Amino acid sequence: MVSLPRRITWLSNVISSEKIGFEEVARSIEVTETPPAWMCLSCRGAKLLCGKPRCPIIVKAQAIGRSNFSYSDKISGSSPPGVFVGRIGYPKVSIGPMVPPQYGDTSILDTPEFWLGRPLETIIDYRYSLVRGNTRANVEDAANPGRTLQQLQELSMAARPVDSELQLTKAPRKTLTLSEDTQPFGPSAPMERFKTSNVSVERKIEKSYYDRDLKAAEAIFSLYRDGIMVTRLQRSLSIGMFGEGARRRLVPTRWSITAVDSTISARLIEKVKGFQTIDKYRVYSYSVYDNQYVAILLPEPWRFEWIEAWFPNTTWNQFTKEPYVIGDYEEYFGRRTYAKVGGCYYSTRLAVTEALEAERRQASAIVLRETYPGYIMPLGVWNVRESIRELMRQRPTIHESFGSALAAALAKMRIPSKKWKASSVLISRELTQAKITSY
């Protein structure tokens, strides 16, 4: 008897493959429905009732069909390296390694810095290929780690993929979530034990790990300056490797991503404030994954604003007929509260300050994003960070006035300029407030 519920067996022609038939695949898949799948049952990927150009559920199911691995309770392969810290149940959280059932150079599977521009299906395949073993830990265990946590910390320090063996309590199940709102993630199961071999650690990270008097923020920025990728810093912070000894904590992966983006960009802002301002207005534009990004740099002291607009039938705008616009900003002296727009605010701020610091210039920055239905599922904060990095590498158009720059920027967007002007604090201010330089 096939374990996949009868009401969604229409997916059989999607997830079966030449090598593995539907029934065998179905036995290893856990299906969850959030929200109830009445619309999916009426549509079955053909009518596109959700308004998207492709069905995100079918895209996920096809990725499962392409994964021809037959999982058992023992997984052997080369970890990218990858570790994961959950947030459910905090301060008691799930932790564990991520191991694909394959050997070799698997680093691409957990290095988002190399993903931008790759086909959506390829990125989903990366996500699904990593098996997560999980065990429970208290976040305070990082101050005095036991054997399992020490192994995970050593894995996180690895400079290259690590041959690993993961013994699970049962065969992991692939998860197909009937919701276009969830990122794809690989199979998981409780872990009995974990073993690695031939771990070659990154010495710079190892040095910070053993310095139990070094504050986490100092370690993060120092390693960033030494060329350690942001993703690696996020992973190391998450698994409790940075900070003063007794104060070290495990940090859920989702939180560590924003913590690192925020910490580095805050330090870069202080550097940028010491530089001369740019001398003209600049407009940058870039489009990827059915997202349009625009940045306006103003020849003024540091200020920053990030606004994103989600069109109808996109992930965060399922029930309105108009684009949903949300954003936040900061003045010269920064902000003390968490940005209401979430982690993308800090990933964008990081990418903009990186570009300014590299040029040794200061500017005010207004960054806008429009997301269209072709962006069929969330890919993660990494997508925004890497997209804005690429945006800032583009050749800008140069303008003598803010009005000219704004017109050029909004010409790239679909939302009427009136709505953008009403939604942006910094745009409104530039258009309505007279400057002392005008007199």
Closest CA to 338 of 259, 220, 260, 423: 259
pLDDT attached to residue 235: 96
Residue 207 lies in a domain: yes
Residue 181 lies in a domain: yes
Give, to the nearest 10 degrees, the angle between helix 230-238 and helix 216-225: 160
| 261 plus 298 within the same structural domain | no
| 59 plus 169 within the same structural domain | yes
H or E element that contains 364: strand 364-371
pLDDT attached to residue 8: 47
Closest CA to 115 of 125, 130, 100: 125
- Which SS3 state, helix, strand or coil, does residue 124 take? helix
Residues of the chain with confidence (pLDDT) below 50: 1-10, 20, 22, 25-26, 33-38, 41-42, 44-47, 178-181, 439
Residue 1 lies in a domain: no
| 301 plus 393 within the same structural domain | yes
| 267 plus 302 within the same structural domain | no
- Which SS3 state, helix, strand or coil, does residue 317 take? strand
Q: In this structure, is the dihedral angle defined by the CA atoms of residues 114, 242, 199 and 155, taken in order, positive or negative? A: negative
- End residue of a domain, out of 168, 197, 226: 197
Give, to the nearest 10 degrees, the angle between helix 147-157 and helix 230-238: 170
| 318 plus 383 within the same structural domain | yes
pLDDT attached to residue 36: 45
How far apart are the C-alpha atoms of 314 and 378, rounded to whole Å?
9
| 215 plus 144 within the same structural domain | no
Asked if omega into 172 is within 30° of 0 (cis), the reply is: no
How far apart are the C-alpha atoms of 423 and 36, rounded to whole Å?
34
Residue 235 lies in a domain: yes
Phi, psi of 59 (to 5 degrees): -60, -45
Q: In this structure, is the dihedral angle defined by the CA atoms of residues 374, 377, 378 and 379, taken in order, positive or negative? A: negative
pLDDT attached to residue 58: 58
| 363 plus 394 within the same structural domain | yes
| 79 plus 149 within the same structural domain | yes
- Which SS3 state, helix, strand or coil, does residue 67 take? coil
Q: Are strands 291-298 and 364-371 parallel, antiparallel or unpaired?
A: antiparallel
| 37 plus 186 within the same structural domain | yes
- End residue of a domain, out of 272, 301, 321: 272
pTM confidence score:
0.85
- Which SS3 state, helix, strand or coil, does residue 378 take? coil
Phi, psi of 199 (to 5 degrees): -85, 120
pLDDT attached to residue 125: 86
Residue 112 lies in a domain: yes
pLDDT attached to residue 23: 52
Q: Which residues contact 19 (CB under 8 A, 6 or more apart)?
A: 68
Domain count across the chain: 3
Residue 424 lies in a domain: yes
| 292 plus 172 within the same structural domain | no
Backbone dihedral region of 206: left (phi > 0), alpha (psi from -120 to 50 degrees) or beta?
alpha
Phi, psi of 209 (to 5 degrees): -65, -40
| 295 plus 174 within the same structural domain | no
Closest CA to 406 of 281, 277, 305: 281
Neighbours of 421 (CB within 10 A): 15
- By CB neighbour count within 10 A (0-12 exposed, 13-18 middle, 19+ buried), where does 150 fall? exposed
Q: Which residues contact 101 (CB under 8 A, 6 or more apart)?
A: 69, 71, 75, 76, 77, 129, 131
Range of the domain at 229: 203-272
Residue 247 lies in a domain: yes
Residue 217 lies in a domain: yes
Q: In this structure, is the dihedral angle defined by the CA atoms of residues 204, 205, 207 and 208, taken in order, positive or negative? A: positive
- End residue of a domain, out of 141, 163, 197: 197
| 323 plus 212 within the same structural domain | no
